[in-house]
Amino acid sequence: MFFNKGVRVLVYFRYVLFPTLFLSATLLLSFLEVPPARGERVLVDQVMAVVNHHMITKSELDRSLAPTFKKLHKRFRGKAYRELVASLEYKLLMKKINERLELEEAERQGLTVTDDELDHAIESIMQKNNFTSKWQLKTALSEQGMSYRRYKQQLRKQMTILKLVNQEVRSTVVISPDEVRQYYLAHRDKYRLPPHVTLRDIFLRIPEGATEAQIQEIRKHGEHIVRQLKRGDDFVILAGSESEGPNAENGGALGDLTKDQLLPELVQPAFTIPPGQTSGLIQTSNGFYIIKVIKREDNSFRSFKELKAQILNDLTKKTTDKRLRIWLEKLREKSYVVIYAKPEAFDQKA
């Protein structure tokens, strides 16, 4: 499948089934042009694509995208607006072609969604959106320009396609534990952690508006604590009795920190002092610190145990998407799909 935006051409996948459909679709294009009183031809709709017996019209695309067009018109004008509209309409056209192929395959296989299944899905959607009544749902839909009846039709289609894709594609995807582990090892750099350090601190606060003499007194007290630590006094006990920090009762435990979580004055000592050692007195704008490095990791990674479920989900999605594309291509190969590639048809919104 391709779509050449530069040339007015007919793009098709396989012209093998329904050979008379091309003629009837061409005739229909003229039927969609209504002659007014003075004999002029007025285009009321345009066939954008034909999928087997089903036509996709421009009005169908515009109706689906109307709320989006309204939002875009508030932010964009002229060429920028037309280009965005063209891109959205083209993507939606491709989506609707796939949707039609999937719905016809589901019909061929006898896959349906019962009224009970549909009602249960609507109830689930209402709960997730904190709606306690159908009236609230209908009001929300109305604000988006959609009727409740049309919403149910769209939801039934989506659920039917989901049943089909689960049966034909997702059920075939099995990712082994070994594949998950091999992916983790091959992409380990993606899971590298920034350097981090585990610290304890003793903090001596400098009161706001403190005089130089007061600051010097606090400094002397801090230097005395440093001497106590050097002679072997316990850091945790001193933190509990001397520190004015919020974590004093915890023995000054600061936990695991990265560089951007530390005050600039603390970064260099925190990442150079050997684990188990303490710093000297460090002055900052709000007070004096003495830190002890408990543990430091300069080259660590998120654990496989932590990432296993995430990697499994990612690999499952990636494999499913790939197999879905292949499966859709096979559906197209045995179907009749025509795209009327007239670029100006996507640019008529002004």
Token pair for 243: 């520190």
Nearest to 1 by CA among 49, 47, 58, 45: 49
What pLDDT is recorded for position 344?
Answer: 53
Q: Structure tokens of 163?
A: 């049943």
Amino acid present at 271: F
Domain-wise residue ranges, the chain? 111-168, 193-297
Q: What is the DSSP string of 263-319?
A: -HHHHHHHTTSPTT-B---EE-SSEEEEEEEEEEESS-B--HHHHHHHHHHHHHHHH
pLDDT at 7 over 50: no
Question: What is the predicted pLDDT for the residue at 121?
Answer: 96
Average pLDDT, the chain: 86
What integer pLDDT is reported at residue 341 of this predicted model? 55
The yes-or-no verdict on residue 112 having pLDDT over 90 is yes
Is the per-residue pLDDT at 269 higher than 60?
yes
**Where residue 68 falls among pLDDT bands split at 50, 70, 90?**
confident
Query: pTM for the full model?
Result: 0.62
Q: Is the pLDDT higher at 32 or at 178?
A: 178
pLDDT at 83: 87
**pLDDT over threshold 80, residue 91:** yes
Q: Helix/strand/coil (H, E, C) string of 249-277?
A: HHCCEEEEEEHHHCCHHHHHHHCCCCCCC
Please check the confidence at residue 21 and state whether its pLDDT lies above 90: no
pLDDT in the model for residue 46: 86
**Per-residue pLDDT at 74:** 84
Helix count (H) and strand count (E) of the chain? 11, 10
Instruction: Check pLDDT > 70 for residue 239.
Output: yes
> What is the structure's pLDDT at 151?
95
Tens digits of per-residue pLDDT, 140-156? 999 888 899 999 999 99
Q: At what angle do helices 78-109 and 304-333 cross, to 10 degrees?
A: 80
Q: Is the per-residue pLDDT at 204 higher than 80?
A: yes
Q: Is residue 16 over pLDDT 50?
A: no
| Beta pairing class for 337-341 and 33-34 | unpaired
Percent of the chain with pLDDT over 70: 85
* Domain 193-297 CATH class label: alpha beta
What average pLDDT does the segment 58-78 reach?
85
pLDDT at 72: 84
HSE (side-chain half, CA atoms, 13 Å) at 12: 16
pLDDT tops 90 at residue 42? no
Answer whether residue 97 shows pLDDT above 80: yes
